[in-house]
Amino acid sequence: MKMSRKFITAGVAGIMALGIAVSAWAAEPKVTDQKIRSGGVTVNIPVVKGAVGGAEVDDKVNMAIDFNIVKKLYAYLPGGSNG
């Protein structure tokens, strides 16, 4: 049960980071969820499309979100850093 809470915490952190990034733009981009399943674990990762600045900005925002979520998840794996 502890692992589930940690995954949820990581997802919430990613969504919060996305909310901060989205508030900086004048136009509202479309945000959808990408579901990643592995074994009994499902993680929903937000995906941005339609940000001001075009596809290049979409890619940069999505890479930053992915990086931060993966970084948080690795912290909870055996042998992962706690930072």
Question: So where are the chain's domains?
Answer: 2-75
Kindly report the pTM of this predicted structure. 0.52
pLDDT of residue 1: 47
Cα–Cα dist 47/5, whole Å: 22
Q: CB of 24 within 8 A of CB of 17?
A: no
pLDDT (average), residues 27-54: 82
Q: For 17-26, 33-42, 70-79, which range has the lowest pLDDT when averaged over its residues?
A: 17-26
